[in-house]
Amino acid sequence: MTSLKKFLTYFTLLIVLAIAGTASAKSAELTGIDVFDLDNETLRIEISYEGKRLDSDNISTDLRSGILRVELDNALPGRISRISGTQIQSGARNFVEKIIANETQPKHTSVQIHLNSAVENDYVKVSIERANRSEKKSERIVLDVKKYSAQDDWNWGETDNDNAYQRIIVLDPGHGGSDAGAIGPTGVTEKSVSLAVSLKAQKLLTADGYKVIMTRTTDIDVAAPGVPDSTELQARVNKAPPDADIFISVHCNAFSNGTANGMETYHAPTAIKGSRLARLLNEELFRLGGLNNRGVKAARFFVMTHSKCPASLIELGFITNPREEKLLASDAYQQKLAQAITNAVNRYFNQGGSD
Ligand SMILES: [Zn+2]
């Protein structure tokens, strides 16, 4: 390389560096994203940044189908890329699936927050909080998102309210036949617990006037022994008639460590009615069953993502935990869980109580 070429290369590099330096000095640079489960109504997202101060003209938002897009002019993603640099507070973890930040145009950053629990479309309140040294907080954009409220479901319920209409509940006792599911330390099987609780719930729900469809009522494979999981699970989904109102799959949890404990309920990501069903089931199972509450979670379990009606999968407790195995096998405790499922269904359809 000639010395002139060397000089030119060096010079070009300097210019590029200078431009890059200028760009960042005139831009905001994101430093972190925090998500808080603020209260019953609000999920709060705080995007912290340093560098140039942003104002409302630099920020636009769009919330649809559970995805919050935040467009930031004069901003660089900085240290934030996929998830890293983000803090999701424990209470808010159920709400966030992933966060992606990219510089989509020069000095324009697009942040996508995938919220997997129910939030209202088109409702985002944007404010800018200035740095607060005593709280060790940098400048931040505060986005308040409104959680989906049960009150709105109430209205939906009324629009198709018909006294003569019999609600159809599908109960799916997990596993069965060749598939025992998880097995407890003394040999109690998940398939027997899920069936016993579901049969008890069937009785209670039928007495309350529901039409109950069971995916199985005995110890069988619903499709056939030895078929792929997806075939077996699809056979269960297919048991639901087209006009089924809700689908509840009943399971027990398992873990290699016997100390794992507690109950949890699931819904499919962004399923609004499903998440309400999962929440009501969670509340009632916690109230009557009394186990450690592991929360309401979103997941892509086959029966939930393939169900044509709102669906929830419930984990009654850990069959691998000696104390919970004993409870899950007891007739009296199974009856409590069946009552909890029935209460949740009644609340879901606004019968016998609020919500
Ligand atoms: Zn299971």
Domains and CATH numbers, the chain: 27-148 (2.60.40.3500), 152-348 (3.40.630.40)
CA of 351 to the centre of ligand 1 (A): 29
pLDDT the model gives residue 117: 58
CA of 21 to the centre of ligand 1 (A): 55
**Mean pLDDT along residues 161-190:** 90
The Cα 66–Cα 62 span in angstroms is: 10
Indicate if the pLDDT at residue 302 is higher than 90: yes
pLDDT band at 217 (very low <50, low <70, confident <90, very high): very high
CA of 267 to the centre of ligand 1 (A): 15
**Mean pLDDT along residues 223-227:** 95
- Beta carbons within 10 angstroms of residue 313's beta carbon: 26
The Cα 265–Cα 293 span in angstroms is: 9
CA of 280 to the centre of ligand 1 (A): 20
The Cα 161–Cα 211 span in angstroms is: 16
CA of 181 to the centre of ligand 1 (A): 5
CA of 188 to the centre of ligand 1 (A): 13
Strands of 270-347, DSSP E: 293-298, 311-318
**Mean pLDDT along residues 199-217:** 97
User: Whose structure tokens read 């096998």?
Assistant: 329
Indicate if the pLDDT at residue 160 is higher than 90: no
pLDDT the model gives residue 287: 95
**Mean pLDDT along residues 293-310:** 95
Three-state DSSP state, 93? helix
The Cα 279–Cα 296 span in angstroms is: 6
Q: Is 349 left (phi over 0), alpha (psi -120 to 50) or beta?
A: alpha
Q: Which helix (H) or strand (E) holds 159?
A: helix 150-159
pLDDT the model gives residue 35: 83
pLDDT band at 154 (very low <50, low <70, confident <90, very high): very low
pLDDT digits (tens, 9 = 90+) for 83-105: 455 666 666 777 777 788 888 88
Q: Comparing 213 with 163, which gets the higher pLDDT?
A: 213
pLDDT digits (tens, 9 = 90+) for 47-57: 888 888 888 88
As a dihedral over the C-alpha atoms of residue 343, residue 270, residue 94, residue 265, rounded to 10 degrees, the angle is 30
Pairing of strands 75-76, 28-37: parallel
Structure tokens at 265: 């309920």
**Mean pLDDT along residues 320-337:** 98
CA of 261 to the centre of ligand 1 (A): 15
pLDDT the model gives residue 81: 56
CA of 337 to the centre of ligand 1 (A): 16
